Structure 1
């Protein structure tokens, strides 16, 4: 199923399940929806789950402009397309940031925000160096190959996919790196290609946002927010502390033995935290 945003860009969407409406916001920026398992978990617990590929990504039309405001407007187009008055928003990684921005812009349209594996409202410089060290350690013996691919001025689609699989393998917890690679391969199948322009433009914009202003804005939210962390996420979880402290109605759930995709290692605990109330 597709919808057309008000500026004519076509967005891929899908709906599964019956019950309380939930819209999922995938990570990136520049990636596509890989939240099949999340959709299944929530649909099994009485949710109507609405998914979409953000503009320029995956099965959606590869055309900008790319910005936080444009992403918020596209998310609202998804809500309107399905005829939803108010929804639970679940965002993962960058999608958690997008869901937060949408909630700040349209609080009357969000009944509950589930903020999964996000990186908070502070500058990336506060957490990124530690993340890079953790990433390199988690890639392990395949680090030289990842560095080789990363250093290429131009990569084929096969090389781009290989590099992403190696990098994404670090997002899964546990010592079994072969299993982590298999899980990353599953994420990359089917492969739609990373939109590097989208990634660069949105990341550049979020890097200039004021933590102080976001902190103050979050203080005005009155709907419940659930922050879900994987204990072994390679992104430092203390980066989310200032967001948690700014929210008036917040619950934080840390899942033991889980990484950046906590529904993979702790599906039941994740579903208990994220499912509609």
Structure 2
């Protein structure tokens, strides 16, 4: 693990995995250490993944002020890491609640991004729905042997007033979050409690009210291309929610991974990595062509 000092003196940790152009990856949860991301299904074969632990999680320090866990305030941690890495601009990937953070970073620092990848992101930061058509997705999996217990737990998680109240029901609900409830998915889900900071989870959106008009205006003028990757079987966000949210961006590629859940790199690593790598490759090629055209016209 490497460390850097953020804007308020908090020591934050990150690790790098893989080889190739850098890709800064923001974990979700909210409040889950980046370890759950692994190597993103093998994406590290072509990209150097930069995986920070959100403040208060994993190897990162816990500040005295829990208010700094709030998603809009975490934007400055991302910017501090970019500066530490001495990257003028960066490809940014946000997963789940990390997608909300990535959206806020994009709105605040659009000139620092070359490409934005949103993997099964939360849209809470921009005040958009994430659960459109969720009941149909749930009903479509009724033949699964775990279905009745998972749906009962899902109802309890959704009605919980806090992450702590939802925590006892999360593991029973988790089959609905994976495209395949196999041994790999079970191990991934079982690791959640040890990787999660409930304090970060509780404060991530606490007191945050999005300025939806301003955010949508800024995202609507985003100069970099966006990949919005949803899972066909995901509940947060559903494919329907991702499709609706695609209208936020002027240059967006919407991809719905067949059979994918909330962690699509586990459900079909080859499909996931091909989609992300193809987007990043096309983005780099378009950027290079634009740069060449600019120089040739001088």
Q: TM-score, normalised by structure 1?
A: 0.81
1:64-108 Cα offsets, whole Å, 9 max, x none, are: 322223211111122222222211101111111111111111111
CA shift in 2, pair 1:132/1:58, >3 Å: farther
Residue pairs, 1:1-277, within 5 angstroms: 1-33=2-34, 34-38=36-40, 41-45=42-46, 47-63=47-63, 64=66, 65-120=68-123, 123=127, 126-128=129-131, 131=134, 140-143=147-150, 146=153, 163-174=169-180, 177=181, 179=182, 182-189=184-191, 192-206=194-208, 208-235=209-236, 236-275=238-277, 276-277=280-281
| Cα contact 1:119–1:237 (8 A) shared by 2 | no
Question: RMSD in angstroms over aligned alpha carbons?
Answer: 3.3
Cα pair 2:239 2:256 within 8 Å, conserved = no
- Structure-2 change in CA distance of 1:196 and 1:251 (3 Å): same
Q: Classify 1:10/1:239 alpha carbon distance in 2 versus 1 (closer, same or farther; 3 Å).
A: same
| Conserved 8 A contact 1:170-1:234 | yes
Runs of at least 5 residues in structure 1 that lack an aligned partner in the other structure: none
Asked if the contact 1:231–1:258 (Cα under 8 Å) also holds between the matched residues in 2, the reply is: yes
Aligned equivalents of 1:15, 1:73: Cα separation in 2: 20
Q: What is the rounded CA distance, in whole Å, between the counterparts of 2:97 and 2:135 in structure 1?
A: 17
Could you say if the C-alpha distance between residues 188 and 71 of structure 1 is closer, same or farther in structure 2, counting changes exceeding 3 Å? farther
**Taking structure 1 as reference, are residues 13 and 188 closer, same or farther at Cα in structure 2, changes over 3 Å only?**
farther
- Matched residues in 2 for 1:144 and 1:48: separation? 38
Aligned residue pair count: 266
How far apart are residue 201 of structure 1 and its match?
2.5
State the alpha-carbon separation in 1 of the partners of residues 206 and 131 from structure 2: 14
| 1-structure distance, mates of 2:250, 2:152 | 46
- Looking at structure 1, the residues matched to 44 and 61 of structure 2 have their Cα atoms a distance apart, in angstroms, of 27
Q: Residues of 1 paired with 2:79 and 2:276: CA distance?
A: 21
Deviations 1:86-140 (A, max 9, x none): 111011111111111111111111100001101336646x445965896797863
**8 Å Cα contact 2:32-2:192 kept in structure 1:** no
| Alignment TM-score, normalising by the size of structure 2 | 0.76
* Cα distance change of structure 1 residues 68 and 14 upon mapping to structure 2, 3 Å threshold: same
Distance 1:130 1:2, change over 3 A: same
Tell whether the 8 Å contact from 2:150 to 2:175 is kept in structure 1 after alignment.
no
**Distance between the aligned counterparts of 2:123 and 2:152, measured in 1?**
31
Deviations 1:14-43 (A, max 9, x none): 0122321100011122211111131x6222
Residues 107 and 129 of structure 1, relative CA distance in 2, 3 Å threshold: closer
